[in-house]
Amino acid sequence: MKIRILSLLLALTSVLNLRADEGMWPLTLLQKMQDKMQARGLKLSAEDIYSINNSSVKDAVVRLMSNGRMFCSGEIISEKGLFLTNHHCGYGAIQELSTPQDNILSNGFWAGSMAEERPANFQIGLLRKIEDVTDRVLEGTKINDEEASRSAAVAANMKKVQNELIESLGDAKKNYIIDIGVFYSGNQYLAMYYEVFRDIRLVGTPPENVGKFGGETDNWRWPRHTCDFSMFRIYANGENEPADYDKNNKAYAPKHHLPVSLKGYQEGDFAMTMGYPGRTTRNTYSAGVEYLGSMERPMRVQLRRSIMDVYEEYMRADKDIRLMYASKLARLGNYWNKFNGEAKELSRPEIYAKRKAEEKAFEKWVRDNKKDDVYGNVTSLYDEAYEALNQVGLYNVYLQDGIANSVPMLIALRASRVYLGLMDKSNDKGKAAAAAFAEGVDEDYKTFNADIERKVIAAVFRHLMDDLNPKYLPEELKKLADKYDRDYQAMADRVWKKSSFSDPEKLKALLKKGSAKKMAKDPIFKITFQYLMSLRKDLAPQLSSIQTKLSRAERLYLSAKAEMNPEAVVAPDANATMRLSYGTVKSYNAKDAVSYNYYTTSKGILEKYIPGDFEFDAPKELIEMVKNKDFGQYADPNTGELHACFLSDNDITGGNSGSPVINGNGELIGIAFDGNWEAIASDFGFLPEVQRTISVDIRYVMFIIDKLGGASHLIEEMTLAK
């Protein structure tokens, strides 16, 4: 068994035939990639980028986290813990710090001193080391063990290993989390050690009409002209260690920070990104491509669009509502756009045909090499899983993208634990849980407008009833639909009037009573709880069987591919662990007769500018500076223009937002914030001809900080490359 795993991992980590610009690569592979990267223009060594014992580039790359969950990337740019990320990554924190009286989301904010910096409600992690724990996690298992028992053994081993690694840190464990990343669908396991800093403060942000210029219209599109950045600082205690917020904390002194380059770039120059890409599934089975393209993605698009339409109707009419719902609209809209593009791309017949051809080659290899005992049922497992998923897969989708996007219904979902506790009469834990839940109600309803939420519930009801098989829908919802002849707004108005979840004060009163019986009668709670129970009880066996089949098929399929092509290497799918992608600054041909340059300039801001527009407004001061070409040291030395954004052929996906774009000297030249529309389906396959990372030019960022924000003291804090 150990020999088999070792052979597999050697095959998976060989990079002899690697395309240099393809893939999101774990840092453990850098030594083997060094020569090819240097041939493309890198002046650093692998040790300069990733070292456990010495300062390296990885020490300047931050992982943004909320309650332990990663959501974006960033980079440290000063000796005092100053770091950059995207504006859309800092959006939620900026919104929380905004009020109608001090709307820093709309107006921008620049701290004149450290004393003026404002606490932000998230944490950051710094990767300290990576450890291969594959043998320990797979101990006692065989590749073709029965899947349920094997998965249970792997999960138990993983938990044991994780606990042992944490305990080995001694007193330092209070400041660390250790995630064990699953690579190659369970054929490799790497432990990631993160030191977590909890005192993060907002230092600066451009106005929203700079940081989000172009809105959803420009999202995932090129050319772009948004200055998508925000700036925060890490604070630590007197020993430079993580600490909870305290006014006496000091600016964190990082092991490494990135120098900022104002020299610019040319097409073909080396560029690499380092960050935390979320998820890719580049080995999705052909039936999975068909399911996603024809059913799952289109349904997500329709459901999100219905809710976004409600938000936008009210946001356009009221600036206070716009502030309240800005972050929610941005979160929904970003992936609505992506899912829309994926639905179109994945429905193209050539993608399905390519996967089908790969699968036929795999089946032939299995037969020719007499591997049926291990790999013989892979394709049948896939076929069975996706046939079932077509029947029941959307119920989870509608929980995530529908019910969970209604404030009252989401709170009702969370209150299900309170209800189950109140049902247990053997102790008073239920009443204690109800009291604790009540304490957080005001915060839960912080982003809440009654008119919007009533219409959102109507939209959710419509999609549940019109799109899903009624067999597993809540009986209460079906009765309501019959009573009101599927008038969904009338249905929503009815439950709204009768429910305590439509008003925070009414909900607190309900929770104070501590009565499971009264909660069970609440119409919003009843519908939501019945939906949840249907998923957990009626659908759970089917969904569990689907997941078991998919997990086994994917693990065996990747194992077989490594055996089929021992000299060929594909990058492991992204899994929210630090990855490096390298390539070059590069233009592209989007389609017939449409070619795009590799950079944009501030001229495009003037061309797109629409005063007072929801998406294309801009500060008058910025417009005047652009008209007067008042760019200072931030003008490009070759064109004399202020460059706004640029393209590179780096690999990118969600989670990479905020990643540094670094030149061959290890200097910061930009901040990655998006991919392009032509490669919108790249999570399912790398598209080298058209796939591009869209980044904001660091010189545009510096220009906004200095010339528009008047925060030259922050420029002075940074190290400008010579």
Q: What's the pLDDT at 32? A: 84
Q: What's the pLDDT at 685? A: 86
Window from 19-28, 163-172, 611-620 with minimum mean pLDDT: 19-28
d(CA 131, CA 162): 11
CA 600 to chain centre: 26
**pLDDT tens figures, 124-141:** 999 999 999 999 999 999
d(CA 408, CA 205): 32
* Nearest partner of 390 among 531, 304, 293, judged by Cα: 293
If one compares 636 and 685, the residue with the highest pLDDT of the two is 636
List the beta bridge partners of residue 62. 74, 126
Give the single-character DSSP code of 53. S
* Nearest partner of 481 among 523, 421, 515, judged by Cα: 523
Angle of helix 407-414 relative to helix 523-533, nearest 10 degrees, comes to 60
- Going by pLDDT thresholds of 50, 70 and 90, the confidence category of residue 96 is very high
- Going by pLDDT thresholds of 50, 70 and 90, the confidence category of residue 43 is very high
Rounded to an integer, the average pLDDT of 407-433 is 93
CA–CA distances in Å: residue 441 to residues 434, 512, 527? 11, 12, 20
The answer to whether the CB of 347 falls within 8 A of the CB of 681 is no
**pLDDT tens figures, 265-302:** 999 999 999 999 999 999 999 999 999 999 999 999 99
The answer to whether the CB of 117 falls within 8 A of the CB of 233 is yes
Please enumerate in sequence order all residues whose Cβ is within 8 A of that of 161, keeping only pairs 6 or more positions apart, or say none: 133, 136, 137, 180, 191
Q: What's the pLDDT at 21? A: 58
CA–CA distances in Å: residue 87 to residues 146, 207, 605? 47, 10, 18
d(CA 344, CA 409): 31
H helices within 468-522, ranges in order?
Answer: 475-483, 488-498, 504-513, 516-521
- Going by pLDDT thresholds of 50, 70 and 90, the confidence category of residue 327 is confident
Rounded to an integer, the average pLDDT of 452-462 is 98
Rounded to an integer, the average pLDDT of 349-369 is 94
Residue pointed to by tokens 């904001």: 696
List the beta bridge partners of residue 132. 190
d(CA 223, CA 296): 29
Q: What's the pLDDT at 6? A: 40
Residue pointed to by tokens 């599109």: 221
> How many other β-carbons are positioned within 10 Å of the β-carbon of residue 687?
17
Angle of helix 349-368 relative to helix 540-564, nearest 10 degrees, comes to 70
**Mean predicted lDDT score pLDDT of the chain:** 94
Rounded to an integer, the average pLDDT of 421-446 is 91
Give the single-character DSSP code of 381. H
| Residue 666, pLDDT above cutoff 80 | yes
> How many other β-carbons are positioned within 10 Å of the β-carbon of residue 557?
20
**Residue 171, helix vs strand vs coil:** helix
Angle of helix 407-414 relative to helix 416-423, nearest 10 degrees, comes to 40
Q: What's the pLDDT at 124? A: 98
Q: What's the pLDDT at 330? A: 87
Q: In which order are the strands placed within the sheet that holds 25-26?
A: 25-26, 579-584, 270-275, 660-662, 668-675, 693-697, 643-648, 599-601
Give the single-character DSSP code of 178. E
| Residue 8, pLDDT above cutoff 50 | no
Q: In this prediction, what percent of the chain has a pLDDT beyond 70? A: 97
> Could you tell me the sign of the dihedral formed by the alpha carbons of 235, 237, 243, 246, in that order?
negative
Q: How do beta strands 660-662 and 668-675 pair?
A: antiparallel
Query: Can you give the three-state secondary structure of 244-274, one letter per residue?
Result: CCCCCCEECCCCCCCCECCCCCCCCCEEEEE
Residues annotated catalytic, as ranges = 88, 228, 657
- Going by pLDDT thresholds of 50, 70 and 90, the confidence category of residue 565 is confident
Q: What's the pLDDT at 687? A: 86
Residue 295 burial class via C-beta count within 10 angstroms: exposed 0-12, middle 13-18, buried 19 and up: middle
